[in-house]
Structure 1
């Protein structure tokens, strides 16, 4: 389910250096401020950038991730003491514990099978109060982002805290139906060491997201294609950003 960047401390450092605060974080913080949401879940929190900011804004934040190396890096950051850090995944969530839940940073794509995705959505619905919000992002498969995932299209230099630079690139091979893409990330260090990390990404279109959310007990309230709240397909961001609301359970 999770990239090696989140498990190898050397790659966690590279990941953290490559992902400073961005416009997507501004978007999530604005969404969080739209309503009174004292108790917040960040599922798949990574190295904790968003969780720490949400806690700094006064929210009671629980940040959950299965990767210990990632959580270790998160705990070392300023402001980390305000966050409740949990090693685990959606199986660890308590019923009715949150007013809002976030699946940020394309975490949704790493839940590859239908069973895992459905299990996560049902667990998230159970963990939210009625009318609690689920906020998630996923790349829009209609934009076919994997077409650029080769060395020529993705090679970049990542500067670490000690001033050294790691050369990184990504290679992606889509399945025949393009519903999944096998991805390998390469990291070349100055001393010649090359580390790699492999994962499979699952891309769900707008219809699939809406249908699976509805089946898990959510109502899609808003759905955007970009971080400036453009409609799907009308932004160069190539995203599907969903704000869904937990509906009351029907029946016993």
Structure 2
């Protein structure tokens, strides 16, 4: 079940404002060019930022997400008619014979159990053509991202169409490999408060490489995330024939 930050319509509507400029997306466009990928699946596409960029470059794009509220935001954005939007997760993807599947942001870390992660990798493999690629990022556990999260000050933004919204982040549990954190959003126009709790799994590089091999992928490269040097791994894996 996706977190409220993606499924609650009020939170989905302000998600992009608090998510920032998404400096990570240019790297994924570059990788798509490098791999000559024409058919792309964006799993956990959320409000569609990357899917829309990929489609604008002339590619055939499927954006899939289990959070209906996030998809509704995506569908309302300019250029949304160029993307095929699917409500679901990796286990519900059709046979797309895609050249590339991607998971950006924290998507690869939301699968907390070995079973959920295995089913996700199997579903993505099935959606790719033989020789197609899977590219995703995951935070390095040793960089302890949750320490920075815990020190974050509240943020107030004036969101178009919504007004002033305050976001507070609290780290509520660190039990590696799982880290849990709690968002509180206060809509200052009417004083309403909406909360969301999330948990991410921090996997070691060797664990991810082993899982990819087990589920029919060959690891071709492990890169830096240009927007977060030294903080994340970007895995480039190829579906084995």
Range class of TM-score, shorter chain: over 0.9
Contact 1:74 1:80 in 2 (8 A): yes
**Residue 119 of structure 2: aligned partner:** 119
1:1-252 matches, cutoff 5 A: 1-95=1-95, 97-150=97-150, 152-162=151-161, 164-176=163-175, 178-190=176-188, 191-227=190-226, 235-236=229-230, 238-248=231-241
- Residue 246 to residue 161, structure 1, CA distance change in 2 (3 Å): same
Runs of at least 4 residues of structure 1 off by over 6 A?
none
Contact 1:21 1:49 in 2 (8 A): no
- The CA RMSD over aligned residues, in Å, is 1.7
The count of corresponding residues between Structure 1 and Structure 2 is 240
Q: Deviations over 1:68-121 (max 9, x none)?
A: 111111011000000000111111122352110011121011111000001100
> 1-side partners of 2:171 and 2:99: how far apart?
37
In structure 2, the gaps of 5 or more residues are none
TM-score, length-scaled by structure 1: 0.90
In structure 1, the gaps of 5 or more residues are none
* Structure number having the greater strand percentage: 2
TM-score, length-scaled by structure 2: 0.93
Q: Deviations over 1:167-202 (max 9, x none)?
A: 1121123343x2001111111221332211012111
- Counterpart secondary structure, 2:95: coil
Contact 1:13 1:160 in 2 (8 A): no
